[in-house]
Amino acid sequence: MKLSSYSVSHDLRAPLRAIDGFSRVLLEDCNDKLDDEGKRLLKIVRDNTNKMGQLIEDILTLSRLGRKPLEMSHIDMAKLTKDVYDELKQTTPERKIQLEIKNLPAAHGDPSMIHQVLVNLLSNAIKFTRPRENAAIEVGGREEGMKTSIMSKTMVSDLICSM
C-alpha cells in the first residue's frame, strides 16, 4: 500500500505540475495578449490544480494514518480544535473568520486521527463560509454514553461528525 500510494501520488502530481506550470507561464508571458476572460479561465485552471494537489495530499495523509496502529489517549477537544483552527487560519489570513468553541467535552481516541477529522470538518466550514466577508464558525459537542459528538455550525451550513 505504501509503495502504491507513493506511486499513484507521483503519477497524479506530475500532470498537475505541468498544467499548473504551463498555465502560469501563459499568465506571465502572454498576459498582455489575454483578455479578462482568458485570464479568469487560466486562474480557474490553476486554482483547481491546487485543489487537486491538496486532495492527493489528503488521500496520502489518510492512507498513512490508516497504516499505523491506533494510539488511544485522552484528548482535550477544545484545545485541539483551537490548534487546528489556528493552523488552517494561516492558509487564509485575509479572511475574517470568528471561531466560537461551545461546550466541547474531552474525548478518548487516537489524536492523529481526531486531528485529521477536525482538519476536514473545519476546512469544510471555512470553505462553505467563503462567500461571507465576516464568517462565524461554531464548534460544540455532547457526550452520549461512550460516544462524543462534535458539531460544526457555520452561517452557511451545518456539518455533524460523530466519533
Q: What is the mean pLDDT of each run of 10 residues along the chain (163 residues)?
A: 64 88 93 93 90 81 72 92 92 87 87 87 86 84 74 51 45
pTM over 0.95: no
pLDDT for 94: 86
| Secondary structure letter of residue 93 according to DSSP | T
Task: Give phi and psi for 135, each to the nearest 5.
Answer: -105, 150
- Rounded Cα distance between 45 and 137, Å, is 29
pLDDT for 50: 86
Q: Where are the beta strands (DSSP E) in the chain?
A: 73-75, 96-101, 107-109, 134-144, 147-154, 158-162
pLDDT for 95: 87
- Rounded Cα distance between 66 and 130, Å, is 31
pLDDT for 92: 83
